[in-house]
Amino acid sequence: MRRRGPLSLPIFLLFTIGAVYPLIFTMNKIAVDAGTPPLAFTFWQTLGAAVLLLIVAAWRRALPRLEARHLKAYFVLGLFGIAAPVALMTWLAPKLPTGILSMVVILSPPITYLIALTLRLERVRALSLIGVLCGVGGILLMAIPTFSLPDPSMVVWFLLALLAPASFALTNNLAALIDPPETPVLTFASGIVTAAAIMLAPVMIGLGETYVVPGPDTAADLAILGAAGVTITMYITFLIIVRAAGPVFFSQFNYVVVVAGLGWGILFFQESHSAYVWAAAALMLAGVALLIHAARRQPETPAEP
């Protein structure tokens, strides 16, 4: 896949959203500790993001188009990028240790790369392959010292959990394949997030995790609003990066999130980490650097007349 322009903006956005996105976990903790069911928190942050995006889109006269091709793109990306993996991870949360679930999710970059190769969105390049392997090495280095299933019967849930990063990886690639032509980023993002909120509503109700906003705790409501802001930033950034540099480039965001999360933990909670963790972080950042370098060496798509 040829990139569509200079990489300065995608690189800046990759590190910006990677640094900002971990804050959503803090907001999640605030809301859940105040009594908000986890799936309800996800629904309301998604709905809040959808409403805000639609208001801005209406003001800019860029509301989502309702032709079949556009609706298909909104609902497919909303399903595989938000509704399905979020519902799955919420359902699996009581069945697997939190640390293992976290490590499963960041398998998205190598799966994204494999899917991109299969769909011929990427070619095998030494630098890209080494970059992906560095990221995988970082995951393994961080996970292996503590990776164990308390109960052998959990292996079924663990294998099922692998569907979540596969779903995120599929979304990264589908965004490059089914993006309707000449659709503004604001229009596309508002359509995707709105579709995801529509699909999450029956799941939330069906699992008995209903919650009404505003709720009894102001801090929880503010956390949901803050998470909605992060969600908006996430999907605007996602589409800009995928359009400019491709799905594999964007997928490295997952590694930036892990490293940034370590930094936020030190800054706000005075956390400390072992040499294994810092070596893993270094490998992940090295993988990102190699992917950026590989992307810089790709030719740009010729400008249309």
Calculate mean pLDDT across residues 161-174. Answer: 90
pLDDT of the residue at 257: 78
- State the average pLDDT over residues 113-124: 82
Residue 148 CA to its chain's centroid (Å): 25
Q: Give percent of the chain above pLDDT 90.
A: 28
Q: Is 217 helix (H, G, I), strand (E, B) or coil?
A: coil
Q: What is the identity of the amino acid at 194?
A: T
Q: pLDDT value at position 71?
A: 95
pLDDT at residue 16 tops 70: yes
Phi, psi of 3, deg, nearest 5: -80, 160
- Two structure tokens written together for 71: 């609706």
Give the Cα separation of 77 and 90 in Å (integer): 19
> Residue 301 pLDDT more than 60?
no
**Across 106-131, average pLDDT:** 80
In a domain, 301, yes or no: no
Question: Exposure of 181 by Cβ count < 10 A (0-12 exposed, 13-18 middle, 19+ buried)?
Answer: exposed
Lowest mean pLDDT among 159-163, 200-204, 256-260: 256-260
User: What local confidence, expressed as pLDDT, does residue 155 receive?
Assistant: 73
182 φψ region: left (φ > 0), alpha (ψ -120 to 50), beta (else): left
Kindly tell me if the per-residue pLDDT of 80 is higher than 60.
Answer: yes
- Look at residue 111 and tell me if it is in a domain: yes
Residue 106 forms part of a structural domain: yes
- Separation between Cα atoms, residue 125 and residue 130, nearest integer Å: 9
Q: Quick one: tokens of 82? A: 């938000």
Higher pLDDT, 64 or 126: 64
- Identify whether 59 is part of a domain: yes
Q: Is there a domain that residue 302 lies in?
A: no
- Rounded distance, CA 226 to CA 31, Å? 11
- Per the DSSP assignment, residues forming a β-bridge with 3 are 300
Please give the pLDDT value at position 47.
95
Tell the residue number behind the tokens 């979540």, with chain if given: 164
End-to-end CA distance of the chain: 20
Q: Any bridge partners for residue 300, and if so which?
A: 3
Task: Give the structural domain span for 146.
Answer: 8-296
DSSP 152: G
- Per-residue pLDDT tens for 192-220? 999 999 999 998 888 888 888 888 888 88
Q: What is the mean pLDDT of residues 258-287?
A: 72
Per-residue pLDDT at 199: 95
Q: What domain count does the chain have?
A: 1
Tell me the pLDDT band of 299, cut-offs 50, 70 and 90: low
Q: Pick the closest to residue 235 from 285, 292, 195 (CA basis).
A: 195
Q: Is the pLDDT of residue 175 over 60?
A: yes
- Tell me, yes or no, whether 305 lies in a domain: no
**Confidence check: pLDDT of 2 > 70:** no
Q: How confident is the model over 221-249, as a mean pLDDT?
A: 91
> Which tokens is 31 given?
């809301």
Q: Which two tokens stand for residue 78?
A: 């909303």
In a domain, residue 1? The reply is: no
Task: Say yes or no to pLDDT of 274 above 70.
Answer: no
What single letter denotes the amino acid at residue 181? P
Torsion of CA 179, 180, 183, 186, to 10 degrees: -40
- Cβ 209 vs Cβ 38: under 8 Å: yes
Q: Please, what is the average pLDDT of the chain?
A: 81
Bond prior to 214 in cis (omega within 30° of 0): yes
pLDDT tens digits, 135-159: 777 777 766 655 555 566 677 887 7
SS3 (DSSP) at 3: strand
pLDDT at 296: 63
Residue 147: CB atoms within 10 Å: 13
- Among the listed ranges 83-97, 208-222, 286-300, which one has the minimum average pLDDT value? 286-300
Tell me, what DSSP letter sits at residue 153? G
